[in-house]
Amino acid sequence: MAHDDAHTETDQLVFQNPVTRYPSIEPPKQDQPEPGLDADLEPKTDRGEFSYRGTGRLEGRRALITGADSGIGAAVAIAFAKEGADVALNYLPAEEEDAQWVKGVIEKAGRTAVLLPGDLTDRTVCENLADKAAEGLGGLDILVNNAGKQISQDSIEDITDEQFTDTFTVNIIAMFRITKAALKHMPAGSSIINTTSIQAYNPSPTLLDYASTKAAINNFTKGLAQQLAPKGIRVNAVAPGPFWTPLQVSDGQPKEKLPKFGKDTPLGRAGQPTELAPAYVFLASPESSYVVGETLNVNGGTPTP
Ligand code: NAD
Ligand code: MG
């Protein structure tokens, strides 16, 4: 999105038709090795560099976000910084280019970005992540568990044991390990936000492993929320519908589905990552103090349970 266009859009955001806020994209068939890069994605996404307006809702807060280099995590990192937070970003070493871009946007907003590359299939990486974030930021009071692995397969026979296990490791086991290790740093008032998916309720036949991790994340969130509420730590989840991100082109979707991605939602288009950011800001902010164990659906209008 060009710089000038984006500034115009910020002004117009005061009143916008959600159907036409962004064009209904028809992504060309494309393939990237896993993990995909925003730098190579076609068309480009809006991660809020110019379009997200901060209003000081996370002033002085310190956040760790996994999968923060691209897509939804990048949009959340940028919004948090524009709301006044310093942010530690975890991502895979192969995603350094995307991470550097996000770091630049955060620094332009006058905030600190701490880069923590590391593979979350490695237990030690998970267990040390919050320590490193707290050290780099001078504390920790927001954790966004957002990293995710999604590889579509037509048949259960095509899912290798390794794929099934890795998907569970990245999506839910790492969430357990990171959260457990983060708690010792998080004072009352802190917020934990997990990224689940509409797939938790409405599983695609091609995403057996992925969709079942997302159901597990919803359940984990609601259980942990009750456990931590008396300690003053709120746990919630965000459930995106179809958002245009690198996940979709690195085998997240069957290739033939890409041109129609998101068109079957009531809004008739895929979401742009920055359209998810306000949900995370809301759940992180002290204003949502009575919202606990909730899954906030941001999906363009598809009904959910
Ligand atoms: P994305 O590819 O931009 O982000 C996913 C991130 O996960 C990657 O950037 C990568 O850093 C991280 N990751 C994957 N494997 C990892 C590993 N082994 N170690 C460390 N990090 C690893 O795509 P996205 O769509 O922004 O995905 C973010 C989250 O949103 C995921 O949990 C995904 O399941 C969820 N989600 C996305 C959609 C959508 O339509 N895009 C819909 C519902 C839920
Ligand atoms: Mg990425």
Q: In this predicted model, what pLDDT tens digit does every residue of 78-106 receive, in sequence order?
A: 999 999 999 999 999 999 999 999 999 99
Predicted confidence (pLDDT) at residue 191 exceeds the cutoff of 50:
yes
Q: Ligand 2 center to residue 37 CA distance, Å?
A: 5
Predicted confidence (pLDDT) at residue 206 exceeds the cutoff of 50:
yes
For the Cβ of 194 lying below 6 angstroms from any atom of ligand 1, the answer is no
Percentage with pLDDT > 90 across the chain: 94
Q: Mean pLDDT, to the nearest integer, of 23-46?
A: 94
Q: Mean pLDDT, to the nearest integer, of 126-139?
A: 98
Predicted confidence (pLDDT) at residue 243 exceeds the cutoff of 60:
yes
3-state helix/strand/coil string of the chain: CCHHHHHHHHHHCCCCCCCCCCCCCCCCCCCCCCCCCHHHCCCCCCCCCCCCCCCCCCCCCEEEEECCCCHHHHHHHHHHHHCCCEEEEEECHHHHHHHHHHHHHHHHCCCCEEEEECCCCCHHHHHHHHHHHHHHHCCCCEEEECCCCCCCCCCHHHCCHHHHHHHHHHHHHHHHHHHHHHHHHCCCCCEEEEECCHHHCCCCCCCHHHHHHHHHHHHHHHHHHHHHHHHCCEEEEEEECCECCHHHCCCCCCHHHHHHCCCCCCCCCCECHHHCHHHHHHHHCHHHCCCCCCEEEECCCCCCC
The whole-angstrom separation of Cα 197 and Cα 203 is 9
Mean pLDDT over each residue of the chain, to the nearest integer: 95
Predicted confidence (pLDDT) at residue 11 exceeds the cutoff of 90:
no
Report, as residue numbers or ranges, the catalytic residues.
210
The better pLDDT of the pair 13, 159 is held by 159
Q: Mean pLDDT, to the nearest integer, of 239-254?
A: 96
Instruction: Return the pLDDT at 52.
Output: 97
Predicted confidence (pLDDT) at residue 12 exceeds the cutoff of 80:
no
Q: What is the pLDDT of residues 209-233, one digit of tens each?
A: 999 999 999 999 999 999 999 999 9
Instruction: Return the pLDDT at 1.
Output: 40
Q: Tokens 């919202």: give the residue.
A: 291
Predicted confidence (pLDDT) at residue 7 exceeds the cutoff of 90:
no
CATH topology of domain 58-298: Rossmann fold (3.40.50)
Atom of ligand 1 nearest to the CA of 73: 26
Q: Ligand 1 center to residue 38 CA distance, Å?
A: 12
Q: Mean pLDDT, to the nearest integer, of 161-166?
A: 98
In DSSP terms, 239 is beta-bridged to 297
pTM above 0.75, yes or no: yes
For the Cβ of 278 lying below 6 angstroms from any atom of ligand 1, the answer is no
